[in-house]
Each structure stands twice: as structure tokens, then as C-alpha cells.
Chain A
Amino acid sequence: MWEMPSRTDMDDRDQSGEGPSNSVILEGRNIQVVYHSGERAVAAVEDFSIRIREGEFVGLVGESGCGKSTAALALLGLVRPPGKVVQGMVLYRGEDLLRKLESQLRMIRGSDIGLVVQNPNSALNPLLTIGTQIANVYRDHHPVSKSVALKRVASVLKGMGIDDVRRWMNSYPHQLSGGMAQRVLIAMATINEPKLLVADEPTTGLDVTVQGQILDLIQSRVQETGSAVLLVTHDLGIVAHYCDRVVVMLSGRIIEEAQVQVLFSMPRHPYTKKLVASSLEQARATHHIPTAGFHRPQPP
């Protein structure tokens, strides 16, 4: 059973995924993840259930330590010791991903589901050029030669607004700035046009003027590929302007879930109320509505 997500036209973003074909592409049910530390076992995530529909942009929000990254990794079958998924299932195309072999999961990740991690260093091989690495992701799922793959990589990078594509493709990870590295991760995660893109704090640590570039890039890439997005973040500003729907976590559990407009106007859980109230207060007190576009400096 699906529900039509209700979206309000709060800006002129082109929303994909409207209409009766909004089927659920990924569903997590009652997931529980436990971490073993010596004698003790700590539940990092408890009773986590989520449904992500085609074309939706879902924000998974909470402070550090709330379990949001762990929950997202659990959906991809990426929880590793000392963590363990002790309960629950992740349904994708009628099958439970958590019952699949790692080799099968690898085929799904990278093609059907893309992942952008927070720290580019954990995803990039320092010994290979960027071009080769992105091409490898393409070739893992398409039987083509290296040169064909590189051409595809070049066209994706060009489509992402990158000017000096050749120089980029020949660079090594250590030569990239934070923003550039994130763009590479986004290219790698979306080159096979996944149904779902999971992005874990993709802009944390980046300069504020670069954040906008990266988020806009994610948004335009998923509009091109028709992907849904699960964006893990602690930043309510990002949620307010990019997400359709929000899932809020606290201490390993989901405490609230709502369409963005509803979450900000009518939060229900006391924690969410507090969070939203102070974020709104801060935003309204200090955000100056800028005049459109750029203008010459003017005297006061």
C-alpha cells in the first residue's frame, strides 16, 4: 500500500516522483543494531523502520550519536563488527538484503543503490587516478572496455559542471580539495544511475559556499537519474531546503517522521519541538532576506 506524499509548492524546484507510480523502493523493518564492547552490548539502533519511495528526498536527522549513520549503513548491509544487525529486514525488490551474501550485495550497491560517505578518504584509493576509480565503478556493472568507461566518466563529470575534466580525471585523491573529493564521490555513486542514493553527511566539514554547490549537485544528479535520496544530516537548514520528508532520531530510535513543512510548523515530540523552535528562532532572527542576484555595493 502506498500513500501519495503531499508536497506543497514552497519553491520552484522541479519535483520528480509525483503521481500514482510512487512505489516503495526500499523498506527497512524493525531493524536493531547492537555494538559489542567487551562484555557489554549497546543497542545503537532500535526498532528502526523506514519506507523510501521512488524519487523522494528523505532526510534522516539527529545529533551525533543518535544512530542515524548506523541505521543508514544497516539499510545497505554495511554494518561491520563490532556492530551487528540482530533483528529486522531490508526489503528491496521483494527480497531481504540482510539475508543476501556479500557478493550479491556488492552487485546491488554501486548500481541500484549508491552511497556517498562523509569522509572521501575512506572511499578513495590513494594509488589510482580519479578517472580510473570512477571508471572501475562503471565497469563493475557494465561489460565495457576501459576506454569506453573513461568516456562515460568524462561525460558524467562534464554534466556535473566540471570544466577541466581531463585534469580531474588524471588527478589523484590527495590532490583534491574537500569539495572536489565530494564531487568525485557523487559521480561514483550516481554513474550507474541508482534507484536510491544514500548520502551520509556529505557536506559536513565543507565551507559554507561549497555546501550549496554540493547539495545542488546532488539534487540535480538525482533529478537526472530519477533516484530517491536518503540524506543523513544533523543540519536542519539542509533539511528545510532540500528534503521532502524528514525522519528524526534520538538515542537509536525514530521519534518523529513528517513532511518537511509539517515538521517545522507542527512538531510533535518534545525533543523535536525544542530542536525546531531554536533552529527557527535562530534562522528568523539572523537571516536577512537577500536581494535577488548580485548588486553593486551601496552605501548604507
Chain B
Amino acid sequence: MSSSENTSLLEVQALVKRFPAGRGNTFVRAVNGISFSVGRGEILGIVGESGCGKSTVGRCLLRLIEPTAGRILFDRIDITRLSWRQLLPLRARMQMVFQDPLGSLNPRMLVRDIIEEPLRLHTGLDGLGRGQRAAELLDLVLLSKRYLHRLPRELSGGEAQRVGIARAIATNPDLLVLDEPTSSLDFSARSGILSLLMRLREELGLTYVFISHDLYTIGAYCDRVMVMYLGVVAEIGPRRSVFDRPQHPYTQALLSARLPADPGIRLGRHVLRGEVPSSIDVPQGCVFASRCPLVREDCLPEQPPLTVVGSTHMAACVRIADSTNMLDLGQAPDPRVSSPI
């Protein structure tokens, strides 16, 4: 792919989100200046633990939460500068699937009305047209037409999530942001939903931003992975690369902390001490310094920038520059990965 061809559907530049923490000048720094892009048709996984900011990023992408600073380019349109009215037609092209399927459905609406709602808002379809489309959508998510007349409380978690997905694809969007879409589901419902999502991506040509704390799901389905820690990007790159050759000590610890369901696999865990610091008091320097087993002097006073370790693989660690082996810097960085902050 030539570097002048821009196939990004989404480009995020220096995104910042702060929430007031209630006491004078203190803030929760949920997202602290991150940049990344998502190519058309790809699945970008965003993974991290509590306080990393991944859910906040997901919501900012759709402007469900207003960014504090930074730009978000959707199909090269800067959506952060748009008025509400200008944003509305774009909303049809970017939708969300939520973590709590039952919580994201209005308990007083029939499934039919839940699915038709985006059609009402974004299309000129009449009642008959909407009804037909709703039936089509139920079909796509493998639910029978009987479900049209049910209420959310009559649905299982898996069924409710299928309804949520039907609603999300109703307007034929380009992009779906999926925020922990299977975390609340039982094991048996989980694989059904994931295979549905993968099939829909193929059939409908969708692009996904897949937010999850579950490394196995991310590892199984995503093309590229972005690891977040305390509001910054620790590492980003092709899934294979990040999982097989993690460069950031946090990614290494995270991957090694997994407990695979196979007693035959020997664990080589590095169990980190302590916990993620509060997002209110984000420490100076590298955000991971307080728990990093490889910390040294030049980890402070600044958060290290993302450093290239492979053609589309980057990690924010000062130690990367040390390595005596030559890094592949000859090749121009892939345009899908934005330049370091």
C-alpha cells in the first residue's frame, strides 16, 4: 500500500478528555493526548484496564462525550468542529454497541420500535418501509420475527445484544464502536455474538473499533491492537506483532497475566505490584513508571513518545531506542499510524 493513499476511515489527533473532579481545580484526566487511526474495513482493538480511558475514547469518537481537545476526522471530516445539526447526518454512519445490552434498550419500547428508531431519525422511510427494514435487520442478527413484539425484559442477554446490534446497523453505518459487547454475557452467548459481529463485518463492509479488557477476544478477532494505560497509548500495532513481540513492559505484563484455560500451558507471569494510580493524580513522567520493573532515570520527567519498533508497530518506552539491533526505520511509517505525539 503506497503511503500517499489514505484509506483511514477514522483519524484521531491528540485527543484529550478531562472531567472535573469536583474540588476546585482537580480533574480526572481520562484521556491524555492520544492519536491513532483506523483503516476502512479493519478492526482496531482497544485494550486496557480500569482507568485507562478506553471507554471514554469510544464515546468521544461518536461525540457522545465532548472531547476537551484534539480532533477526530471521520472520513476526513473533522467532527469535533461540527454543530449538532451538522453532526446528525453523520451519526447515521457511525453507531455504537454497548456493554450492557439490557441497559441500553428502553424497557418500555417494543423491539420493533427500538430498531425502527434510528430509521425514524435518519431515513425518509415510511411506516411500511421501516417495518420491512426492521424485519430484515432481525433476520441479519438471526432472530425470528416473533421478537419484533417483545419487550426487553423478555429477552436474554444474548438476544438483547442482538437487538442492540440490529439497531446499530439499521442505518447502514460505516463504523461501529463496540464497547465491551460481550463482557456482560454468559460464555455460551459470547461466541454467538462474536461470530455474528464478524460475519456482519464481512457482509456489510463494516469497520470496527472494538473496546475490551479481554485479551483473548482482542487476540482472536482484531487486526490491530492499541494498548492503553492511564489515558495514554502504551503500544499500538498489528495484533500479531503486539501479542507475539510486545515492546512495552506494561503490554508484556498484561499479556503474561492471562490465565489460559489449559493446565498444560506453563505460566510465565510477571505479576505487577500495586495498582493503577488514580487518574486524578496522574504522575509526572511515564505513566507506568510507578509499577514498571524496568524503570530508570530517563523515564521521568516526561511521558515517552510513541517510538517506532516495526513498520506499523509503536510503543511508548524509552528503552526502545537502546536496542543495539537496527530498527526498521528505513521504511516510511504507514500512514494509518499517526506520527508520535
Question: Cβ of B260: which chain A residues have Cβ within 8 Å of it?
Answer: 237, 240, 282-284, 287
Q: List 12 A-B contacts (CB under 8 A).
A: A208-B254, A208-B258, A212-B259, A234-B187, A237-B259, A275-B187, A289-B268, A290-B269, A297-B309, A298-B245, A299-B309, A300-B309
Which residue in chain B gives the minimum CB-CB distance to A65? B186
Query: B265 contacts A289, CB within 8 Å?
Result: yes
A293 at the interface (CB under 8 A from B): yes
In chain B, positions 259-289 with a C-beta closer than 8 Å to chain A are 259-273, 275-276
Mask, B282-318, CB within 8 Å of A = 1, is: 0000000000011000000000000001100101010
Q: Which of A63, A180, A208, A239 has the most CB of B within 10 A?
A: A208
B220 at the interface (CB under 8 A from A): yes
Mask, B86-106, CB within 8 Å of A = 1, is: 000000000000000000000
Selecting from B27-35, B162-170, B200-208, B323-331, the interface stretch reads: B323-331
Selected contact of A63 from candidates B188, B262, B317, CB within 8 Å: B188
Query: A300 contacts B254, CB within 8 Å?
Result: no
Q: Chain A interface mostly helix, strand, loop or mixed? A: helix
- The total number of A-B Cβ pairs within 8 Å is 148
Residues of B within 8 A of A (CB): 49-50, 186-188, 191, 213, 215-216, 219-220, 241, 243-245, 247-249, 252-273, 275-276, 293-294, 309-310, 313, 315, 317, 319-320, 322-323, 325-328
Query: A240 contacts B187, CB within 8 Å?
Result: no
Question: Cβ of B254: which chain A residues have Cβ within 8 Å of it?
Answer: 208-209
* Number of interface residues, chain A, beta carbon within 8 A: 52
Query: B219 contacts A286, CB within 8 Å?
Result: yes
A146 at the interface (CB under 8 A from B): no
Query: B294 contacts A282, CB within 8 Å?
Result: no
Query: B319 contacts A297, CB within 8 Å?
Result: yes
Q: Which of B249, B262, B319, B325 has the most CB of A within 10 A?
A: B262
Question: Cβ of B247: which chain A residues have Cβ within 8 Å of it?
Answer: 297-298
Residues of A within 8 A of B (CB): 10-11, 63-65, 177-180, 207-213, 216, 234-241, 260-261, 264, 275-276, 278-280, 282-300
Given A241-B263, A280-B261, verify A212-B271 contact (CB < 8 Å): yes
